[in-house]
Amino acid sequence: MKEKIILKSSDMFLNLGFKSVTMDDIANEMGISKKTIYQHFQNKTKLVEATATQVFENIACGIDDICALNKNPIEEVYEIKRFVMHHLKDEKSSPQYQLQKYYPKIYATLKRKQFDKMLSCVTQNLKRGIAQNLYRDSIAVDFVARLYFNNMVCLKDQSIFPPQKFSMLMLMNNYLEYHLRGICSNKGLETLNQYNTNQI
């Protein structure tokens, strides 16, 4: 039952937002009593923590699976973006922004895990891109990897990018284009242009 509660809660939180979904909403949606939820989770904060952790772990595993395919590094960047956006329901409820605002301690813990995961993933992507002559060999890998993470976090700041003006999909696509054009070699730019042409 605990896993079912986490699964349903994560779906509702990602679609409707961590703030707006109540324990009553979850109980009603599942056709169970609120008491049943409280048997597994002391309060809503504990449930939010469990669901946020579960979503992160699912995404981390999916990213590992994509990286294990050893795709062209440029294609890999877009594949990971597609996977993450799908699992975060295109971020229509701005889950990370809501976590930061209403559950700052959970957000801080999650951000550290995300940083460690993304730093490792992006570093490997950059090194492979350099080895395949798709990225310039002069780029500072550790600097670019950290900048990439920081910019991804910044995209989710609604005070900078209000959602009524910038959709998350548009932000992600524009940022990836910006990121890749900044690090690609001439060969990489050809590959990127070909990839973009194929997506149209």
Q: Categorize the per-residue pLDDT at 13 as very low, low, confident or very high, splitting at 50, 70 and 90.
A: very high
The C-alpha atoms of residue 114 and residue 22 are separated, in whole angstroms, by 26
The answer as to whether 176 is a domain residue is yes
CATH number of the domain to which 114 belongs: 1.10.357.10
Other Cβ atoms less than 10 A from the Cβ of 174: the count is: 12
Residue 171 is part of which domain span? 43-199
Q: Are 126 and 77 in contact (CB under 8 A)?
A: no
How much is the pLDDT for 4? 95
The answer as to whether 33 is a domain residue is no
pLDDT over 90 (residue 90): no
pLDDT over 70 (residue 140): yes
Tokens of 76: 């890999």
The whole-number average pLDDT for the span 31-39 is 94
The answer as to whether 180 is a domain residue is yes
- In sequence order, the 6+-apart residues with CB closer than 8 A to the CB of 55 are 10, 14, 87, 88, 95
The answer as to whether 187 is a domain residue is yes
Structural domains of the chain, count: 1
The whole-number average pLDDT for the span 102-118 is 93
How much is the pLDDT for 163? 87
pTM of structure: 0.87
Beta bridge partners of 135: 184
How much is the pLDDT for 26? 96
DSSP-based three-state secondary structure for 135: strand
- In sequence order, the 6+-apart residues with CB closer than 8 A to the CB of 56 are 110, 113, 114
The answer as to whether 89 is a domain residue is yes
